[in-house]
């Protein structure tokens, strides 16, 4: 009987804003909440765990790469070694990052999405010099994020409208599968353990692509495409799954769409809109929302006109307060300011911020204690 490794597992404003894909900071006049803790306001629901995916109902299955095909046909360990013989372990050759967008950790390995170097790099030591890291992927053009469930690693290949699937085979990361025609500029990828689903956001079409694999296989399937019609044509950089709901940050549009200046909260399963939160024009070009303790932390790339002069980080206990300008601008207080803050991720009790345009300050770590940022450290 064959041992099938692959299947077995344990307009102008818009153009300006998308030019960096990612997008120096000024600050608007804002009002900090007077009684921060008492004003905290959150909406929550309980996600229902998804039934195991049985591989029978789906839209399309992945395209196998040549390595993926050889692994699928492998009958023994020797065949597996032959299949990955051409997969080289390449050391990173840059000493600086170029517009990093995301950092995360899976098992004992750290990953950085080095967007403008068109690669994802990895290391078991976060503090190792960048030229001692290794290149996981050089196949994507301006990737933005990576997500993993421990079996497969999914990378959004933003400028090629693809999703790339990698697997770790005998200590090598092999590109085994690809999905093509994933919306327009897929920009943000998340794996949710409760729904056992990878979610990939098409940043300008309002579409959320859902991917799954069976419990005994790593072969990936596109299982659903959900859409928010009013976000079609608006550049929305990310979404966040918070307390059972999915939140889409406000974006920018070259048609002056009213829908651009809203944070939209939806049912994760149906994408039915549950709530809209109007945001001021100065912070409308948002990057990401992260809930930490009693606050929402929001990174901002531009205002509604696409100007990066308004790049900042704000925090608020209630999204409803944003429309009244009730938020605290914390960017220059903790992170120097003057750059473009991007995605925030967390590993255990530590949060990480990627940032653009500030030499020597492109990735930060920090902690949050009693709703206050502490232990801020510039890593790269």
Q: For residue 233, is it within any domain?
A: yes
Model pTM score: 0.90
Q: For residue 38, is it within any domain?
A: yes
DSSP codes, 280-307? -GGG-EEEEEEEETTEEEEEEEE-TT--
Q: What is the CATH number of the domain that holds 358?
A: 2.120.10.30
Number of domains comprising the chain: 1
Q: For residue 1, is it within any domain?
A: no
Among 14-18, 229-233, 248-252, 350-354, whose mean pLDDT is lowest? 14-18
Q: For residue 83, is it within any domain?
A: yes
pLDDT at 8 (0 to 100): 43
Q: For residue 279, is it within any domain?
A: yes
Confidence band (pLDDT; 50, 70, 90) for 67?
Answer: very high
pLDDT at 29 over 50: no
Beta-bridge mates of residue 188: 201
Round to whole Å and give the CA distance between 374 and 380.
18
% of the chain surpassing 70 pLDDT: 87
pLDDT at 356 over 80: yes
pLDDT at 63 over 80: yes
pLDDT at 338 (0 to 100): 81
Helix, coil or strand: residue 75: coil
Round to whole Å and give the CA distance between 298 and 313.
6
How do residues 146-195 score in pLDDT, each as one tens digit? 999 999 999 999 999 999 999 999 999 999 999 999 999 999 999 999 99
CA-to-CA dists, residue 185 to 157, 180, 268, angstroms: 8, 11, 21
Q: For residue 2, is it within any domain?
A: no
How do residues 113-146 score in pLDDT, each as one tens digit? 999 999 999 999 999 999 999 999 999 999 999 9
Q: Give the domain extent around 55.
A: 12-378
Round to whole Å and give the CA distance between 121 and 112.
5
Q: For residue 7, is it within any domain?
A: no
Q: For residue 3, is it within any domain?
A: no
Round to whole Å and give the CA distance between 242 and 320.
16
């Amino acid at each position: 009987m064959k041992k099938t490794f692959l299947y077995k597992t344990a307009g102008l404003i818009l153009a300006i804003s998308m030019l960096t894909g990612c997008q120096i900071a000024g600050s608007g006049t804002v009002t900090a909440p007077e009684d921060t803790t008492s004003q905290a306001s959150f909406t929550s629901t309980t996600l229902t765990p998804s039934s195991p995916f049985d591989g029978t109902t789906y839209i399309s299955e992945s395209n196998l790469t040549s390595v993926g095909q050889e692994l699928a046909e492998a009958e023994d360990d020797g065949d597996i070694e032959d299949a990955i013989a051409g997969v080289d372990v390449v050391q990173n050759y840059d000493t600086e990052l170029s517009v990093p967008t995301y950092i995360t950790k899976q098992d004992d390995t750290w990953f950085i999405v080095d967007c403008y170097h068109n690669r994802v790099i990895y290391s078991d030591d976060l503090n190792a010099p960048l030229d001692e890291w290794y290149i996981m992927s050089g196949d994507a053009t301006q990737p933005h994020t990576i997500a993993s469930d421990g079996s497969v690693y999914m990378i959004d290949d933003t400028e090629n409208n693809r999703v790339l699937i990698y697997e770790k085979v005998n200590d090598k990361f092999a590109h085994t599968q690809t999905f093509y025609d994933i919306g327009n500029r897929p920009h943000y990828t998340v794996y949710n353990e409760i729904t056992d689903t990878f979610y990939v956001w098409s940043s300008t079409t309002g579409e959320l692509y859902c991917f799954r694999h069976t419990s005994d296989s790593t072969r990936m399937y596109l299982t659903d495409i959900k859409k928010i019609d009013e976000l079609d044509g608006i550049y929305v950089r990310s979404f966040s799954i918070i307390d059972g709901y999915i939140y889409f940050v406000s974006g920018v549009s070259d048609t002056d769409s009213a829908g651009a200046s809203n944070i939209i909260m939806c049912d994760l399963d149906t994408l039915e809109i549950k709530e809209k939160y109007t945001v001021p024009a100065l912070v409308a070009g948002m990057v990401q929302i992260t809930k930490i303790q009693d606050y929402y932390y929001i990174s901002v790339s531009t205002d509604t006109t696409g100007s990066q002069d308004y790049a900042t980080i704000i925090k608020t206990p209630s999204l409803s307060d944003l429309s009244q300008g009730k938020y605290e601008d914390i960017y220059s207080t903790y992170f120097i300011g003057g750059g473009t803050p991007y995605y925030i991720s967390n590993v255990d009790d530590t949060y990480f911020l990627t940032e653009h345009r500030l030499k020597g300050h492109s990735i930060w770590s920090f902690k949050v204690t009693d709703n206050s940022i502490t232990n801020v450290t510039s890593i790269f």
